[in-house]
Structure 1
Amino acid sequence: MRISAIVTTYERPEFLARCLASLEAQTRLPDEVIVADDGSGPAALAAAQAHVEACALPGQVVTQPDEGFRAAASRNNAVRAASGDWFFFADGDLLFLPDAIEQHLALSEEGRLWTTGFALPLSSEETAALDTTALRARGVSELWPAEDDPRHAVLREQHLRFERKLRLARVAPLEAHLRKLAMRSCNASVSRTAFERVNGFDEAYVGWGCEDDDLALRLLLAGEWCRSALLAARALHMHHPRESLVDVGGRQVSPNHRYHKRHRWRRYVAERGLRRS
């Protein structure tokens, strides 16, 4: 199986360099890395290209005009340039422990299921202390928090909730139940066959959030089932300011919230997706 790692980035080339270093150390190396740039300026884009050229893995940078947060379109651009038959989606602000891709592949049953992981957050102090050269020399594993760290409890609870929701959706695959099975595209995998079947990410999503939950829902509506990699595919999230959210009923949610909540009537193909014709 040929694996394409799709890595998003925007104006954070130093984070990208660290992410690439963690991918170089995987026990199951991706066959290529396609960096999905969301319109970085000339300096950051040149730095990203330099990091990809310095990476031990074959790769390229695919960019687009800076017209707001367009992760869906950016990832689709990268998939169009990819040659793999299985995609590992990664955000460029994550550090992956060495067996992350191997765990996704095993849980996916060699691509039969899509999988979703997440990441434990690093503090601003922990992030500021990171050194790319040291990461390449020593790896990411030593940064993983001890098992009594409270951050683990949050991840364990997310995994248990996902498993409960998956069991319910298997018994009663109603749209309302399928919607509860969220994907975290910062650390996820899906086969090319399944991704193309639903026409990839919906590029109508502009602004932070919901494009990955939308992909998950459409995959499930298409009969493409999933598995949690929340505990197995370990990753760390480098600290940075959060993207803008909006207030809905006192809750801070994505500006795409209403668009995602529309009823689908079992339709699962994105109108503005991977295939543009």
Structure 2
Amino acid sequence: MQKNISVIISTYNSVEWLKKVIWGYNTQTYRNFEMVIADDGSRQDTFDVIEELKKEVFYPIIHVWHEDNGFQKSQILNKAILASTTDYIMMSDGDCIPRPDFVEQHIKFREEGYFLSGGYHKLPMQLSQNITKEDIYSGKCFDVSWLKKNGMKASFKNNKLSATGLKSTVLNFLTPTKPSWNGHNASGWKKDILAVNGFDERMQYGGQDREIGERLVNYGIIPKQIRYSTTCLHLDHPRGYATPESINKNKNIRKETKIQKKKRTDFGIEK
């Protein structure tokens, strides 16, 4: 059967986290999807794990890789977009375990002329490390009481894990957070992403996902807030690639996009 949504997952030398993410997609209630792994230059162990897990999961995996040249996530995401085979693209990261209804909710809420802005729930490092394959396959890792017993603090944000139906709809409406293209949880039509020429490849760490969303809005695509309808567990990790230089450079590019109301980057998929 022809798949109708491509799940693009970014990764870089984070095998243990990637395994948990791949297992998470193997629990999905909606099954008619493909996965495209956007690999920013990982070592051989990532190749080996992906090949092994391809035999375990029900969905096809396309592995897109390029040589390690520092943090070049924008470049590899553009290559993954081109490698995808469907009309609709959902993006998340190789450190985000999806709730079992994750893909289903993106399918449910997708609409022509819109992109979807989902949420995530950040876990502390110890809990991130302790979550097992069995915890993911049983669904325990999304149970708020289980998470609290294992080190998660009480917070209003825990509603992102438990809200469903009317409650999630109301919270989506009331949240002060504006919908944006989020690298951990967003989706949109491939034709719209291609129309704005994908990600700006000048951008390294710091807001490159927000910037493509800003161009989509300039192009006329409306962001839809679904942060309480679809969520993922964000596993903790160090961010050695976050430099003041890259963040400031990206801020200037985003400022230019905003002031000039840019719809398309000259530094994207088409050069």
TM-score normalised by the shorter chain: which range applies?
Answer: 0.7 to 0.9
What whole-Å deviation, never above 9, does each CA across 1:28-48 have from its counterpart, x for those lacking one? Answer: 224211111010122233323
2:180 is aligned to: 182
Q: Please state whether the residue corresponding to 1:90 is helix, strand or coil.
A: strand
User: Is it true that 1:161 corresponds to 2:176 in the alignment?
Assistant: yes
Counterpart among 98, 102, 105 of residue 104 in structure 2: 102
What is the rounded CA distance, in whole Å, between the counterparts of 2:126 and 2:22 in structure 1? 21
- Report the count of equivalent residues: 254
Relative to 1, partners in 2 of residues 1:266 and 1:260: Cα closer, same or farther, differing over 3 Å? closer
Shift of 1:183: 1.9
| Cα RMSD (Å) | 2.9
- Cα distance in 2 for partners of 1:245, 1:140 equals 29
| Structure 1 residue 255 displacement after superposition | 5.2
> Is residue 275 from structure 1 mapped to residue 270 from structure 2 by the alignment?
yes
Matches of 2:83 and 2:92, distance apart in 1: 16
Change (3 A) 1:191 1:150: same
Tell me which residue corresponds to 2:255: 261
The structural deviation recorded for 1:130 is: 1.1
Question: Greater CA deviation, 115-124 or 135-144?
Answer: 135-144
Q: What's the CA shift string for 1:7-44, capped at 9, x where partnerless?
A: 11111122111111111212222421111101012223
1:66 maps onto 2:68 in alignment: yes
Deviation at 1:126, TM superposition (A): 0.8
The partner residue of 2:194 within 185, 188, 196 is 196
CA contact (8 A) 1:26 1:98 kept: yes
Measured in 2, the distance between the counterparts of 1:48 and 1:209 equals: 27
Distance 1:124 1:69 in 2: 22
Amino acid at match of 1:268: K
Change (3 A) 1:153 1:138: closer
Aligned position for 2:168: none
1:201, distance to aligned residue in structure 2 (A): 1.1
Separation (CA, whole Å) in 2 of partners of 1:199 and 1:25: 33
Supply the distance in 1 between the matched residues of 2:52 and 2:213 (Cα, whole angstroms): 33
Aligned to 1:128: 129
Secondary structure at the counterpart of residue 88 of structure 1: strand
1:31 — aligned with what?
33
Aligned partner of 1:123: which letter? P
CA distance 1:65–1:159, shift in 2 (3 Å): farther
TM-score (norm 1): 0.81
* 1:211 lines up with 2:208 in the alignment: yes
Task: Specify every segment of 5 or more residues in structure 2 that has no aligned partner in the other structure, as ranges.
Answer: 161-170
Which TM-score applies when normalising by structure 2?
0.83
Q: Residue 226 in 1 paired to residue 223 in 2?
A: yes
CA distance in 2, matches of 1:28, 1:153: 24
Tell me the residue number matched to 2:164: none
User: 4+ runs of 1 displaced by more than 6 Å?
Assistant: 153-159
1-structure distance, mates of 2:70, 2:6: 25
